[in-house]
């Protein structure tokens, strides 16, 4: 057995883990990154990184040369009506997103962390190591034992670190499942499709058709399942029907009976949303990104949150390991808890009311309502209120946020999130 000791062990080298390792290494820490997959590796994702993510890449001084700039987003209602959500610069973020395959994006961040001095281990974090209840490291599948003074769990929605550190309550978690493929059909703008496959009953999620550069279109379907993970198979089962719907409403060309434009097998992934059912940090274990459930419950974005929380966890650890969990939880309480406590509750309520959602999507994508709300909708839906430029749209978003807080003030999700962020080490 080969024993190694580091200041920090980061399990997972996606955007969250690589951002954490990059900041830690630049700060002088001895950092090990462990990942079970060989790079470059793919991930089920829309490959779209929003304005906050673009700004974080600037802050981290990481360039992704293959990225394509993306502007406004179209929301397509069940009948094909469209609402254009404008991409407007804020005080703290640019007025555009970028599209880049995860094979290239994740590799760029991981390579930056290694260049900064992090040590990469290719292997699965298997058996936990520790003294009593304190997690101190893992034995890898390569039979290397790695111990550290602090551990960052960045191993995704089904995090092994979160499980062995007992930081998850599965029955409270908000789960989602998404599946995507690539089609040989270029699209100019990102499209979100709200779908009612049964008359008067909305699909419990949404579909997307995003630009994918040389790959054509990134097309996928995401479904919310609350705590019932067995229902996640619906996303894969309904993908072909969704593609046919996208053709009928003119987002994609009409599909033939047997479509042969797909050039990548469908790939699926779990999403853990809203910070619900997860304690993001305790003792010397900090969960970041998807491992902590830091995915937007309204539209499924998680990359910006992953990079930000990876950076925040690193800064907290560099400030002293003993108080790192407390400092990190304070960052989450300031930055994410107000929005997630509201939207997690709304997500849960809407999934249980498919007829209400069907009526709501028809209303929101009707011409008059859609145009009036588009600017505020874009800001609120994408969690861009903090940092938005003063405007009528920002006021609409702020009003919606205040109303949402009032409606969810006594929710169990809000109480649970508050408790998880106030937990004492």
- Which tokens go with 383? 């969690």
Intra-chain end-to-end CA distance of the chain, in Å: 32
- Which tokens go with 363? 């209303």
What ranges make up the beta strands (E) of 227-313? 267-273, 281-282, 285-287
Q: In what order do the strands lie in the sheet with 97-99?
A: 48-49, 97-99, 68-70
Question: Is the C-alpha dihedral spanning 117, 107, 2, 133 positive or negative?
Answer: positive
Tokens 């405007």 locate to 391
The CA distance from 104 to 397, in Å, is 34
Q: Is 91 exposed, middle or buried (0-12, 13-18, 19+ CB in 10 A)?
A: exposed
The CA distance from 192 to 137, in Å, is 41
Question: Is the C-alpha dihedral spanning 418, 421, 422, 425 positive or negative?
Answer: positive
Q: For residues 212 and 191, is the Cβ–Cβ distance under 8 A?
A: no
Using DSSP's 3-state secondary structure scheme, residue 143 falls into: coil
Domain boundaries, the chain: 2-71+91-172+276-339, 174-271
> Along the 425 residues of the chain, how does pLDDT read in single tens digits?
678 999 999 999 999 999 999 999 999 999 999 999 888 888 999 999 999 999 999 999 999 988 999 999 999 999 999 999 999 999 999 999 999 999 999 999 999 999 999 999 999 999 999 877 789 999 998 789 999 999 999 999 999 999 999 999 988 999 999 999 999 888 989 999 999 999 899 999 999 999 998 888 999 999 999 988 888 889 999 999 999 999 999 999 865 444 555 556 889 999 999 999 999 999 999 999 999 999 999 999 999 999 999 999 999 999 999 999 999 999 999 999 999 999 999 999 999 999 999 999 999 999 899 899 999 999 999 999 999 999 999 999 999 999 999 999 999 999 999 999 996 66
Q: Tell me whether domains 2-71+91-172+276-339 and 174-271 share a fold.
A: no
* pLDDT for the residue numbered 213: 83
| Class of CATH domain 174-271 | alpha beta
Fold of 2-71+91-172+276-339: FAD/NAD(P)-binding domain (3.50.50)
The CA distance from 196 to 77, in Å, is 9
Determine how β-strand 205-211 pairs with β-strand 144-153: unpaired
Q: Which 3-state string (H, E, C) describes 288-310?
A: CHHHHCCCCCCCCCCHHHHHHHH
Q: Is 268 exposed, middle or buried (0-12, 13-18, 19+ CB in 10 A)?
A: middle
Residues 6 or more apart whose CB falls under 8 angstroms from that of 114 comprise 33, 120
Give the CA count within 13 Å in the CB-facing half-sphere of 1.
Answer: 10
CA-CA-CA-CA dihedral for 371, 377, 382, 385, to nearest 10: 120
Q: How far is CA 406 from CA 121, 232, 293, 342, 410, in A?
A: 47, 31, 23, 9, 8
The CA distance from 243 to 68, in Å, is 24
Among residues 169, 205, 159, which one has the least CA distance to residue 412? 169
The CA distance from 281 to 291, in Å, is 11
């Amino acid at each position: 057995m080969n024993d190694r000791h580091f200041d920090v062990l980061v399990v997972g080298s996606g955007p969250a883990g690589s951002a954490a390792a990059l900041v830690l290494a630049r700060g002088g820490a001895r950092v090990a990154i462990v990942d079970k997959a060989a790079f470059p590796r793919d991930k089920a994702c829309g490959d779209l990184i929003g304005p906050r993510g673009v700004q974080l890449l600037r802050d981290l001084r990481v360039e992704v040369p293959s990225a394509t700039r993306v502007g406004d987003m179209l929301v397509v209602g069940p009948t094909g009506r469209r609402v254009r959500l404008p991409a407007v610069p804020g005080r703290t973020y640019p007025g555009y997103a970028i599209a880049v395959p995860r094979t290239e994006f994740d590799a760029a961040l991981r390579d930056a962390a290694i260049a900064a001095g992090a040590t990469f281990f290719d292997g699965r974090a298997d058996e936990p190591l520790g003294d009593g209840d304190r997690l101190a490291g893992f034995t890898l599948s390569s039979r290397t034992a790695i111990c550290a003074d602090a551990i960052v769990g960045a191993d995704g929605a089904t995090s092994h670190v979160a499980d062995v550190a007992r930081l998850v309550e599965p029955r409270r978690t908000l789960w989602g499942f998404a599946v995507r493929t690539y089609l040989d059909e270029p699209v100019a703008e990102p499209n979100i499709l709200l779908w009612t496959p049964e008359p008067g009953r909305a699909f419990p999620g949404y579909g997307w058709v995003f630009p994918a550069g040389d790959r054509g279109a990134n097309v996928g379907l995401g479904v919310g399942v609350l705590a019932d993970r067995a229902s996640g198979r619906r996303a894969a089962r309904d993908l072909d029907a969704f593609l046919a719907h996208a053709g009928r409403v003119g987002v994609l060309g009409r599909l033939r009976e047997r479509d042969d434009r797909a050039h990548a097998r469908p790939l699926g992934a779990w999403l853990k949303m809203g910070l619900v059912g997860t304690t993001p940090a305790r003792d010397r274990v900090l969960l970041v990104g998807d491992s902590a459930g830091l995915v937007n419950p309204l539209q499924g974005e998680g990359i910006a949150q992953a990079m930000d929380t990876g950076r925040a966890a690193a800064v907290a650890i560099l400030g002293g390991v003993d108080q790192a969990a407390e400092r990190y939880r304070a960052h989450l309480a300031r930055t994410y808890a107000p929005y997630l406590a509201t939207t997690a509750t709304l997500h849960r309520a809407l999934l249980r009311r498919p007829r209400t959602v069907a009526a709501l999507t028809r209303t929101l994508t009707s011409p008059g309502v859609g145009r009036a709300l588009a600017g505020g909708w874009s800001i609120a839906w994408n969690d861009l209120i903090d940092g938005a430029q003063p405007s009528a749209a920002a006021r609409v978003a702020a009003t919606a946020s205040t109303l949402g807080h009032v409606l969810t003030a006594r929710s169990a999700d809000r109480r649970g999130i508050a408790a998880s962020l106030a937990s004492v080490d």
